[in-house]
């Protein structure tokens, strides 16, 4: 029996690879959008405008205080009643980008704030504008403390993308869920799904740790 199911599973491999591709697509788009939005908001969050900082802070808190699954349902089910009809894939990308952006915003803001105050003063004293300061002096130095947690956040986004299978997106998790209906060997089916996620996430986690070690060593030498 077991070997029969295994054989069936191997025959379904193309289906799994299609699902994997969908996972990459959803997570990839979500990741890119989250990075762009997150950086912009993070720069504002580290700036001087108190009102904007508070508004962003409230938004970050709302996202951190609610489960991602609930956020996905809100985007998918509630936005239509506000007039925005969405299919599963766009809703998934929007929810993922929204969540990712809030975390990236905090990572970027704390990276910027960790640059020593004297750097900003030296740049101001030589007449550089706020934009020039950010671009040439502050951000380059902030990137050192932003990149390792940023990569870590990418891993979280990839893992959280599995949740969008709940609204019907046919990612690799959903493929597993559909497959297990006809190949009732949960261990095998989801073992395979797990291995596929592992193949992507494990190297990225190690990359993040490696970069964290390298960045800290160089910083202490300075």
Within 10 angstroms of residue 85's Cβ, the number of other Cβ atoms is 9
x-or-dash string of contact with another protein, 41-80, rule CB under 8 A: --------------------xx-xxxxxxx--xx--xx--
Three-state DSSP at 60 gives helix
Question: Which one among 11, 166, 208, 213 touches another protein, defined by CB under 8 A?
Answer: 166
Per the listing, tokens 């962003």 go with 56
CA 11 to chain centre: 32
Determine, following the binding rule CB under 8 A, whether residue 13 of this chain makes contact with another protein: no
The token pair at 156 is: 């979280």
Question: Which one among 184, 213, 214, 216 touches another protein, defined by CB under 8 A?
Answer: 184
The token pair at 5 is: 């199911």
Kindly state the smallest distance separating residue 153's Cβ from another protein, in Å. Answer: 14
Determine, following the binding rule CB under 8 A, whether residue 207 of this chain makes contact with another protein: no
Minimum CB distance to another protein smaller for 101 or for 138: 138
- How many Cα atoms are found within 13 Å in the side-chain-facing hemisphere of 125? 6
Cα(57)–Cα(169) distance, integer angstroms: 31
Determine, following the binding rule CB under 8 A, whether residue 221 of this chain makes contact with another protein: yes
Cα(64)–Cα(93) distance, integer angstroms: 18
Which residues are at the interface with another protein (CB under 8 A)?
61-62, 64-70, 73-74, 77-78, 81-82, 116, 118-119, 121-129, 132, 136-137, 140-141, 155, 159-163, 165-166, 173, 176-177, 180, 184-187, 189-191, 193-194, 197-198, 201-202, 205, 221-222
């Amino acid at each position: 029996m077991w070997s029969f199911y295994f054989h069936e599973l191997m025959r379904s491999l193309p289906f799994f690879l299609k699902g994997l591709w969908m996972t990459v697509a959803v997570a990839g788009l979500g990741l890119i959008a989250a990075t762009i939005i997150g950086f912009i908001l993070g720069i504002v969050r580290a700036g001087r405008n108190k009102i904007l900082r508070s508004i962003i802070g409230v938004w970050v808190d709302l996202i951190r205080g609610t489960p991602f699954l609930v956020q996905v349902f809100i985007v998918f089910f509630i936005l239509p009643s506000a007039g925005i009809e969405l299919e599963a894939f766009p809703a998934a990308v929007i929810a993922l980008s929204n969540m990712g952006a809030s975390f990236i915003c905090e990572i970027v803001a704390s990276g910027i704030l960790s640059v020593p105050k004297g750097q900003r003063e030296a740049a101001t004293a030589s007449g550089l504008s706020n934009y020039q300061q950010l671009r040439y002096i502050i951000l380059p130095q902030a990137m050192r403390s932003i990149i390792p947690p940023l990569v870590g956040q990418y891993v979280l986004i990839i893992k959280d993308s599995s949740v969008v299978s709940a609204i019907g997106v046919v990612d690799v998790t959903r493929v597993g869920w559909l497959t297990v209906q006809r190949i009732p060997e949960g261990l095998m089916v989801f073992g395979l799904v797990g291995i596929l996620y592992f193949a992507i996430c494990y190297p990225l986690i190690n990359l993040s740790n490696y970069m964290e070690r390298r960045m800290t060593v160089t910083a202490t030498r300075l």
